[in-house]
A and B are shown apart, each in its own frame.
Chain A
Amino acid sequence: MNRRPVFLISCLCFGFAFFYIPILSLIVFSFNKSRLATVWGGFSTQWYAKLLDNDQVIKAAVLSLQIAVTTATFATVLGTMAGIALARFQRFRGRAGLSGLVTAPLVMPEVITGISLLMLFIYMAEWIGWPGSRGFTTITIAHITFSMTYVAVIVQSRLTSMDLSLEEAAMDLGARPWRVLVDVTLPVIAPALLSGWLLAFTISLDDVVITSFTSGPGSTTLPIYIWSKVKLGVTPDINALATVIILTVGIGVALAAYIMHRAEARRERDVQMALSQDTP
């Protein structure tokens, strides 16, 4: 009986090690005094200071955030519309086509999406003179096209599991279809919209492949910057940058988990209290 827990615990430890040792080593080496990525030369925070002085990094980070926010917002609007169409309208001309097109980018290799968008932008520039140069706009358009499909899938599945009688009740009480959407449907699926937005934001923020096809000179996003630096060898300042990103994401996730846990606990308490009141 004693052997099983030992086996299970070692499996768990191995799993944790597998996930976190690379990240830990990266964080540790970001405090390395030496320029060489693989030789420990003593503790130092100099790379963090250098990072703040590095205009290129700051500019790339700001551009990435701008693109990610714009992408996530547009992708959520378009993806929600597609999701509603797929979940709520059972029969319309081109439904199968839309359904296929919405899910295609999920399985399409990014390289192909990237090349096709690049070709499109080049031809468009030739025929209608737009886009004159590739940069913020072209990257954002490219990101929207593939991240909206994730939003559409999330919204569609949330809508399918939503109680249809909520919408019917609103309509029954005199709300026209548009008011039903605004008053009931969207508020009820708000958590799905938020997670769709966040997913689109993350996907846009860390995309390298499609961005590299659709970016132009002077529009370097953070992942592209890191990628181009690493090609010349891993340096401690990249480790420092990665550590900052990990910390930001880590704190964000922990905070979200804490807030959700608290809301869940409060809700649970409310429900328990309410159930104890049932006396005729």
Chain B
Amino acid sequence: MAPFIRIDRVSKRFGTFMAVNDVSLDIMKGEMFALLGGSGCGKTTLLRMLAGFESPSEGRIFIDGQDMAKIPPYERPVNMMFQSYALFPHMTVEANVGYGLKYEDISKAERAERVRAMLELVQLGAFAGRKPHQLSGGQRQRVALARALAKQPKLLLLDEPLAALDKKLREHTQFEIMSIQERMGITFVVVTHDQEEAMTLADRIAVMDKGVIRQVGPPADVYEHPNSSFVAGFIGSINMFDAEVTPGGAATTLDVPALGGEVRASAKDIEPGRKVKLAVRPEKIALSRERPADGNCFPGVVKDLGYFGKDSLFRVALASGALVKVNSVNSSRDGAARAADWGEKVWISFEPSAAIVLTD
């Protein structure tokens, strides 16, 4: 199947600054795709090039097989939901949602019907006559979504769709957006700096940094199999140590000075003597008072303990002085049953399969 969006070696320069640097990307029809990265990584510039507000300095963009180079924003089969929502302050909710249909060749009655259906979809039917300033943040967000969907675009772009909402409302809206996307089958491209948002919303994520795409893949892939220490560090929390591959048998073993010993890792063949980084997610490390029988295990002392309710974060100091973050679920209500307490001597351990070996 041909990709729905094809970004072919696109670069964008602002003066001497490379906002987007030689990016190629294929996005499939009906996909929910997230561009994830910190501020200034080029994700918004890439989105604005899809919308047509910026034109690439180099490279080409195809949407549904059509070259977008000469197509102005008002002729693209694309709609965008802006971070600031950009609701027209002098128009009612109804007029805002219907604005995109105004210049389409449809009858007044059909237009009204489609606006009504859109407002129904975002559960704002009762608010049709209100002005944007008479709406709460969450309602404004839904008007913006309805307005962007009203023209039934082939592609919907969302710029930080949840950034302005508080935490509770965010979770709710997240699932609302996902269910709308599934029902309408429109391709979504979401820009976000929030990795949790990207992971829950998207089918695939592209992690961007300094104008370059560092990794593309499904959320679980990017999280569990990061291809670089940048991606490993950017997505989620992680322990990372310098290591060296030791010559040995079939299994890869690493010499990790910070842990004070050798670590077995189930990684593909990497030549011995190579300097690498060992990365382990905090939730993949177990904490115990006795030395476990198996796995990579090292002794340490609990230095800090953060209680978050559903889980706790421990920071364990090892003999080398290195601190290891360990995340453990509080499955019992009994405080004494917690894995360890402040100042206690413990063992940390993890499976060879939990060890991520990064070669960059």
A residues with CB within 8 A of B? 163, 165-166, 168-176, 179, 183-184, 187-188, 190, 267, 270-271, 273-278, 280
Contacts and interface: CB of A to CB of B under 8 A. Distances in A.
Nearest to B88: A184
A270 B92 CA distance: 14
A97 to B, nearest CB: 24
Contact of B100 (A165, A173, A184): A173
A174 B88 contact: no
A165 B82 contact: yes
A165 B172 CA distance: 26
User: Counting chain A CB atoms within 10 Å of each CB, which of B74, B83, B166, B169 scores highest?
Assistant: B74
User: Counting chain A CB atoms within 10 Å of each CB, which of B72, B78, B135 scores highest?
Assistant: B135
Interface string B79-107: 11011101011100000000110111000
Interface string B137-161: 1110000000100010000000000
B130 to A, nearest CB: 8
B278 interface: no
B94 to A, nearest CB: 14
Interface residues of B, number: 38
24 contacts: A165-B82, A165-B83, A165-B84, A166-B88, A168-B73, A168-B80, A170-B88, A171-B72, A172-B74, A172-B78, A173-B74, A174-B74, A174-B103, A175-B99, A175-B103, A176-B74, A179-B103, A183-B99, A188-B90, A271-B134, A274-B135, A278-B138, A280-B168, A280-B169
B133 interface: yes
Nearest to B99: A173
Contacts of A173: 74, 79, 99-100, 147, 151
Contacts, number: 91
Contacts of B84: 163, 165
Top 3 nearest A-B pairs (CB, nearest first) are A173-B100, A280-B172, A169-B86
Interface string B107-147: 00000000000000000000000010111111100000001
A249 to B, nearest CB: 29
B5 interface: no
Nearest to B79: A172
B151 A174 contact: yes
Given A274-B139, A280-B138, A170 B80 contact: no
Contacts of A278: 136-139, 166, 169
Contacts of B104: 174
B173 interface: yes
The dominant DSSP class at the A interface is: helix
A166 B96 CA distance: 11
A190 B90 CA distance: 10
Contacts of B88: 166, 169-170, 183-184, 187-188
B191 interface: no
Contacts of B80: 168-169, 172
A173 B90 CA distance: 16
B138 A267 contact: no
Contacts of A176: 74
A183 B74 CA distance: 14
Contacts of B73: 168, 171-172
A185 to B, nearest CB: 10
A274 B136 CA distance: 5
B342 interface: no
Interface string B297-314: 000000000000000000
A263 to B, nearest CB: 11
B82 A169 contact: yes
Contacts of B172: 280
User: Counting chain B CB atoms within 10 Å of each CB, which of A169, A170, A184 scores highest?
Assistant: A169
A176 B168 CA distance: 39
A173 B149 CA distance: 10
Interface in B153-206: 166, 168-169, 171-173
Contacts of A184: 88
Nearest to B73: A171
Contact of A274 (B51, B79, B133, B166): B133
User: Counting chain A CB atoms within 10 Å of each CB, which of B53, B86, B89 scores highest?
Assistant: B86
Interface string B52-89: 11000000000000000000111100111011101011
A172 B51 contact: yes
Nearest to B166: A278
Contacts of B168: 280
